[in-house]
Amino acid sequence: MLNVLSIGGNALNNSKNLDNLLDAIEFLAKKGNLLIVHGNGPQVGELSDLEGLNLGVLTAQTEAEMGIFLAEEISKRLSKGKSEAKVEVVLTKVRVDPKDPAFKNPSKPIGRFYSKAQAERLRTKFTLKHLVHGYRRVVASPMPKKVMNLATIKDLLERRYIVIAGGGGGIPITYRGNRYNFADAVIDKDYTSMLLAKSLGAKRLFILTNVDGAYIDFGKKKSHRLAKVNSKELQKYLKQGQFEQGSMGPKVEACVSFVKETGGIAAIGNLKRARDAVALKNCTIVTA
């Protein structure tokens, strides 16, 4: 059985979060095949500030660096002084449509948070958006259409490797003028996780974030977490605008799409309680 685990880029910036994540990975590794997709929002934003390069190029850089780091940590945890665990990183090219409307409507948060005063000064340089914890830069986030090296990922999974792929949502590639080009965008890793999960026949999709699941009326007095919900009900909440675009919205959309097409189970849980979430406890469980 294949499980797909999607984690935010913040997970690799915090030693406690990393320990929690490794607990969950160790649990899932005993249950069957495992594919891990990580985000890169904080890291690619920081690199962009420093280097100013095409976001597709920077995603390739972060996917390699973060993937190798995570693979080494997983190997150390699972090996425990024995033979080296089989973990492999796949630099993943993901094709996107150059005409995707997302290129004209930036929505994906990257980089750090800014105060209102800082955001005002940066508005001539970046597109910024006010989120729950402050202002962040937002960039184009087209939908992933095709994972171009899917066969490599599938082969490694069949050989019982733990595979880290689609890091940062994958390297966004467009096809124009009879050639492939880096797209100046960052694909949402949850959409790529969903595409990989469906393409590879996964049974479960786990999305770990900084809250305990999908909340109705988030941030308000009557806010409450959805414990177990079917895709039809969750779509209703999506239409009501309950889930923030570029944040919880893509996570919920990814879960709905996955369970509707596969009949599998998806879950959204807190990285601080990662082991619970992958055991389907204290999280939002989504069914068809």
* Over residues 73-97, mean pLDDT: 88
Phi and psi at residue 81, in whole multiples of 5°? Answer: 85, -5
Structural domains of the chain sorted by starting position, each given as residue range(s) with its CATH number in brackets: 2-287 (3.40.1160.10)
Percent of the chain with pLDDT over 70: 98
Give the H/E segment covering residue 152: helix 150-158
| Nearest alpha-carbon partner for 31 in 162, 195, 125 | 162
Render pLDDT for 115-143 as a digit per residue (tens, 0 to 9).
Answer: 888 888 888 888 888 877 788 889 999 99
Residue 221 has pLDDT above 90, yes or no: no
Give this prediction's pTM: 0.93
For residue 218, give the DSSP letter: T
Which residue among the candidates 9, 45, 168, 170 is catalytic per the annotation?
9
Q: Is residue 108 among the annotated active site residues?
A: yes
pLDDT score of 15: 83
For residue 143, give the DSSP letter: P
Percent of the chain with pLDDT over 90: 74
Q: Is residue 260 among the annotated active site residues?
A: no
pLDDT score of 177: 79
pLDDT band at 83 (very low <50, low <70, confident <90, very high): low
pLDDT score of 165: 98
Please identify which residue in the block is written with the tokens 């949850």: 190
Q: Is residue 145 among the annotated active site residues?
A: no
Render pLDDT for 53-68 as a digit per residue (tens, 0 to 9).
Answer: 999 999 999 999 999 9
For residue 261, give the DSSP letter: H
Most confidently modeled range among 82-86, 132-136, 155-159: 155-159
Q: Is residue 104 among the annotated active site residues?
A: no
Which residue among the candidates 93, 154, 189, 198 is catalytic per the annotation?
189
Which residue among the candidates 93, 154, 198, 251 is catalytic per the annotation?
251
CA distance 68 to 55: 20
Which residue among the candidates 3, 39, 108, 169 is catalytic per the annotation?
108
Q: Is residue 129 among the annotated active site residues?
A: no
| Nearest alpha-carbon partner for 111 in 25, 29, 186 | 186
